[in-house]
Each structure stands twice: as C-alpha cells, then as structure tokens.
Amino acid sequence: MLYSDKVMDHFRNPRNVGEIPDADGVGEVGNAKCGDIMRIYLKVDDGIISDVKFKTFGCGAAVATSSMATELIKGKSLEEALCITNKAVVEALDGLPPVKLHCSVLAEEAVKAAIADYYKRQGLDLKAEECGPVCEGCCGSCQSFDGEDVLPEL
Amino acid sequence: MKRFVYADNAATTKLDGAVLEAMLPYLTEQYGNPSSIYALGQNAARAIRAARERVAFELGAKPEEIYFTGGGSESDTWAIRSAAALSKRGKHIITSVIEHHAVLHAVEALEREGFEATYLGVDRDGLVSPDELSAAIRPDTALITIMTANNEIGVIQPIAELSAIAREHGVPFHTDAVQAVGHIPVNVDALGVDMLSLAAHKFHGPKGVGALYVRRGMRLQNLIYGGGQERGKRAGTENTAGIVGLAKALALANEDLEEKMRVTTAMRDRLIDGILGSIPYSRLNGSRERRLPGNVNVSIEFIEGESLILRLDEQGIAASSGSACTSGSLDPSHVLLGIGLSHEVAHGSLRLSLDHFNTDEDVDYILETLPGVVAELREMSPLWEHADKEGVDNAV
C-alpha cells in the first residue's frame, strides 16, 4: 500500500486542525470501533463557510481526507460544499489506496453532517437523504469505488 | 543529524555483513548448479550439504530432517497441507486464534476442502491452555499447529507441554517458530515437535529462504514436482546463496545467544517501563514474563496506530502497529482481539521489536520521541478531549 505525495503532505501538515469554540455547525461521523472519527466545525457568514476546523482520530488517510475536505469547502457557499463528493476529495489527493477509500466517504459525510447541524440550528430542515447514507467507516462497501488510478513509474 | 532507529525486527532484519560475505561466492564465481557433477557444481552441492548439517546441528536435528524452502509461509503451508493430506486419523485440525496468517489461512483453506478446525483461544496474557488443548483433541485430529512465539505480542507458548499432550494422543505437532529461532533457544527435542518452520530473514539472514524440520518417521508430501532436490519433495535448482546465508545467519544468531538475550531483554524492559511511565492511558499487550527478549507491544488509547507509525517514521523510527489501517483490512489485529482487547484499544497498538543490533541510544531516542508524537496525535483526536478533560476509566 502506497500513499501519494499529496496524501503524505496533508498528513504531515494537516490544514485547519483544531476546533471553533463558537461554531455555527458541528458534525461528527465514524466511530472508535472502526478506527475513524472525524469532527468538523463550521463558521458560516451569509451562507458562506468563512472558517472550518477539524479533529480526527484515524489513520494517515483519515487525517489527509479531513484536511483536504476542509480545504475544498473553505470559502465556499453551503450549497457548493454540499456538492463536494468523496470522489472530489480522492482526486484532490491524487488518489487513495482502495482499502482507504472509506476515509474519503467519511470526510464527505463529516462535511454534510456539519452543514446539516448548521441548518438545524437555524431552524431549517436539511433532509437526511440529501446527506446520503450514514458512513461508519467500516462496512467496506465503498472499496469497490475505483479511484483515479495512475500507472506507476518504474 | 536525524537519527534512524530500526525497531521492527519482527518484520524483518538487516542482513548481517558476515552473512553477505558467506553468500557472495555463490552469487558470483561459484555459480554452479548443485546437481552438476563437475567441480563447480559439486562446490555448490557441498555448500548446501554443509548448510543442512549446520541448521540441523543448531536445531538439535539430523540433516535428513531439514528441508530448505522459500521462507516461513511456505514451510507453514507445506507442513500443514502435508500432515492433513497424509493423516490416517481424519480431517480435524487444531490451532490457535493468534497464529500467523500463514497458518490461519492454510487451515481455513483446508476447512473449505472439507476439514474441520478448532481454534483454541488464549488468555489475556496470550497463552494457550494445555487443558483446552487436551479437551479439543478428537480421534480424527490430524494435526496440531501452535506457534512457538507470537509475531505481534512476542508471547512464548509452553510448546513442550503442549506437544507432550499431542504425543500422548498420537497426534503430530507442528510449530511455526519463525519469530523464535535465532532469538531464544530452539531445540526440536526439547520442544518435542514433529515439524517446525523457520525463516532466515528474521535472524539477519536473506529474504526468500526458510526451512522446514520434519521429524524422521513423519511422512511428508511432495510440494513441487521436478528434479530430485530436497529429497525429491521440493524440486527446483536450489537457492545456494540463500541456503548458505540461512545457515550462516543461524550459526551467528545462536552464538552467545544467552548474552544477547540478556542485553536485548534489558533494553526491552527499559522501553516498556519508560513508555508505560511517560504515556498515560497506555498498556502492555501480552505476557510480560513469557515474552521474546526484543518484543514491546503497547496500546496507546485515543490514537490510531497507522498515524502513529507514520509520525514516528518522520522522526526516523521504524515500527509497526496492529491497527486495521496497517493490516490492509478493516479489522484490527486478530491477535490483539484474541487477547481480549476492544477494537478501540487494538486500533492504537504499537509494536517495537528490538534485537542485539539495537543500542541503548536507540531506546533513549524512542523514549524521548514517542511521548511528543503521541501528544500531538491526541491533540488532534476528538476522543482525547473527553479523556483529557474529564478523565476516563483506564481499565481496558
């Protein structure tokens, strides 16, 4: 199993680590049994994600996908952020090993959970279906998803 | 300058310079085929004969009881499949839940072919119970296979006691001694085993070569068809340099073994005490007493093993973990679950495996580096803040 340079960069120097004490929305997905927990904090101004932080318990890919997901949604509108898929996270990281793809699903779910929490606090309704299935990070079903495979150099 | 500390000797070891020197002639000018009758071939044949005699001597066996193989997994697979196929007793295998996958997957393959298997559990220390083994033996038990020392937690099983029970019932006993050979005394008669697997690269020999000991009188099935190599049972031109390297490495490893064990055990104990003393919510996995001299396996709660390994790598420390993320599957180590750890705690495991090539400075460096790395990862972990602020029950 090999990580891309991009994954290692985001693991070594994760962007947006920490918490936002007065966050407008907080989402947490995964569980300790499966070895991955991601929590994302959002600060929202006029429908724009003005700040985002995360805390993650998990492997190198879990940290890297959390970091990349926060980078992808920072400064975006909530609607744009809701459209960020796990595939976009994987592509931005130059791919993930198949066994790690569930981490990217968790990252997508964490973003959606944080946005859903924001809507809830605003008294707005974001239906659960819009956030896709709830990922606990260990069913393995997403491993069939084929990330961008790059032919290795010899 | 950044240090590099290799603390993953249970994964593989550095090739000893003296072993390389012993091997080199057979990779260069002494390239003859051991089956050829002219001098160049006979030189290679002689080297293999000497290697077989040396390996037999080191294990307390006879040369004709030693078969060279392509490594530990091949030896395990061969022993298990052969004993299963040739047994007149029946189609039942007994093993333990903490075996290496080379054994577990070989047994699972037999189950798919109609065999039944009993997987003996282990206690919290990682030990198989002789009473449970006695109770599991059936008239149709074809083989018992239990490892000498565990690759993850280093626990040393009471093999002599277990094999005595097997003998009483007339059941062949195989042991995967891949982690033990060259690190603790291993003598086939003292252990009372009928078959034993070993791999050269675990004791500073080359990769891709191992051996299977098969007690005289025990039948062995053909593994590879072809020429008459390895008494006709594993055909194919021998890996002369590898075989010479295996024998040389084993001879060197067993030299002053007691003293090496003493030195390594002292480093191990300092590492264990240092880690448990400096990192809250950490625990030792596996028996402290019945343990390989170089094995340290700790669980560090609220962090995940793969992240820890990657961070340690940045600091120049090579180690391993039994977390799901390093096993290539979604479940943490079967060994850690086998000794009763929860998934949560098993995810945060760290294995540091030392041997006499390590130094006290290596231990100092690990002890200086690890707490900071753990603190950094905990700072990032959503699980840690609860423990940090409220305190949690440390009972695992």
3-state secondary structure labels for all residues of A15-60: CCECCCCCCCEEEEEEEHHHCEEEEEEEEEECCEEEEEEEEEECCH
Distance CA A63, CA A93 (A): 12
Tokens, residue B265: 């055990």
> Are B304 and A35 inside 8 Å of each other by CB?
yes
Distance CA B306, CA A57 (A): 11
Helices (H), B183-323: 188-191, 240-254, 257-278, 305-314
CA B378 to chain A, closest CA, distance in angstroms equals 8
Distance CA B330, CA B298 (A): 20
Give residue ranges of B with CB < 8 Å to any A CB.
Answer: 302-307, 310, 314, 323-326, 328-330, 332, 342-344, 347, 380-385
Give me the phi and psi of B79, to 5 degrees please.
-60, -45
pLDDT at B326: 58
Interface check A141 vs B, CB under 8 A: no
Confidence of residue B275 (pLDDT cuts 50, 70, 90): very high
Which single residue is written with the structure tokens 């929860």?
Answer: B342
Collect all residues of chain B within an 8 Å Cβ-Cβ radius of residue A40: none
CB neighbour list of residue B117: distance below 8 Å, 6 or more residues apart:
B92, B93, B94, B95, B107, B108, B110, B111
Collect all residues of chain B within an 8 Å Cβ-Cβ radius of residue A138: 324, 330
Distance CA B236, CA B128 (A): 38
3-state secondary structure of B231: helix
Collect all residues of chain B within an 8 Å Cβ-Cβ radius of residue A61: 325
Collect all residues of chain A within an 8 Å Cβ-Cβ radius of residue B381: 37, 55-57
Is the separation of the CB atoms in B252 and B356 below 8 Å? no
Is the pLDDT reported for residue A32 higher than 90? Answer: no
CA A12 to chain B, closest CA, distance in angstroms equals 8
Q: Give the least confident one: B45-59, B185-199, B326-340, B362-376.
A: B326-340
> Are A32 and B314 inside 8 Å of each other by CB?
no
Interface test with B, best of A57, A96, A100 (most B CBs within 10 A): A57
Q: At what angle do helices A5-12 and B305-314 cross, to 10 degrees?
A: 90
Confidence of residue B146 (pLDDT cuts 50, 70, 90): very high
> Which of B155, B150, B152, B372 has its CA nearest to residue B275?
B372
Q: Give the least confident one: A85-94, A120-129, B3-12, B213-222.
A: A120-129
Is the separation of the CB atoms in B338 and B328 below 8 Å? no
> Are A59 and B314 inside 8 Å of each other by CB?
no
Half-sphere exposure of A72 (CA within 13 A, CB side): 29
pLDDT at B256: 98
pLDDT at B261: 98
Beta bridge partners of B10: none
> Are A62 and B304 inside 8 Å of each other by CB?
yes
Q: Give the least confident one: A24-28, A99-103, B152-156, B161-165.
A: A99-103
CA A108 to chain B, closest CA, distance in angstroms equals 17
Alpha-carbon Rg of chain A, whole angstroms?
15
| Residues A69-118 pLDDT 10s | 999 999 999 999 999 999 999 999 999 998 899 899 999 999 999 999 99
Is the separation of the CB atoms in B285 and B341 below 8 Å? yes
pLDDT at B199: 98
> Searching chain B, which residue's CA lies closest to the CA of residue A138?
B330
Interface test with B, best of A55, A59, A66, A100 (most B CBs within 10 A): A59
Tokens, residue B240: 């002369």
pLDDT at A135: 54
For A33, the closest of B310, B314, B343 (CB atoms) is B343
> Are B382 and A140 inside 8 Å of each other by CB?
no
Please state the three-class secondary structure of A72-111 as a single string.
HHCCCEHHHHHCCCHHHHHHHCCCCCHHHHHHHHHHHHHH
Is the separation of the CB atoms in B370 and B312 below 8 Å? yes
| Residues B302-333 pLDDT 10s | 999 999 999 999 999 999 997 766 555 667 89
Bridge pairing between strands B92-96 and B317-318: unpaired
For B381, other C-beta atoms within 10 Å of its C-beta total 25
Q: Work out the average pLDDT over B44-64.
A: 98
Distance CA B39, CA B32 (A): 8
Alpha-carbon A130 to chain mean position: 16
Provide ipTM, 2 decimals.
Answer: 0.82
What share of chain B has pLDDT > 90, as a percent?
A: 93
Confidence of residue B1 (pLDDT cuts 50, 70, 90): low
> Are A99 and B330 inside 8 Å of each other by CB?
yes
Strand ranges of the sheet holding A36-45, from the earlier edge strand across to the other edge: A25-31, A36-45, A48-57
Strands (E), chain B: 5-6, 66-69, 92-96, 116-120, 141-145, 173-176, 195-199, 210-214, 282-284, 295-300, 317-318, 349-353
Is the pLDDT reported for residue A50 higher than 60? Answer: yes
Is the pLDDT reported for residue B350 higher than 60? Answer: yes
For A37, the closest of B332, B343, B383 (CB atoms) is B383
pLDDT at B365: 98
Task: Report the Cα–Cα distance between both ends of chain A, in Å, rounded.
Answer: 16
Bridge pairing between strands B195-199 and B210-214: antiparallel
Q: Which residue type is seen at B307?
A: S
> Are B325 and A61 inside 8 Å of each other by CB?
yes
pLDDT at B69: 98
Q: Which residue type is seen at A133?
A: P
Distance CA B152, CA B305 (A): 13
> Are B314 and A12 inside 8 Å of each other by CB?
yes
> Searching chain B, which residue's CA lies closest to the CA of residue A98?
B328
pLDDT at B385: 80
CB neighbour list of residue B50: distance below 8 Å, 6 or more residues apart:
B247
Size of the A and B interface in Cβ pairs below 8 Å: 75
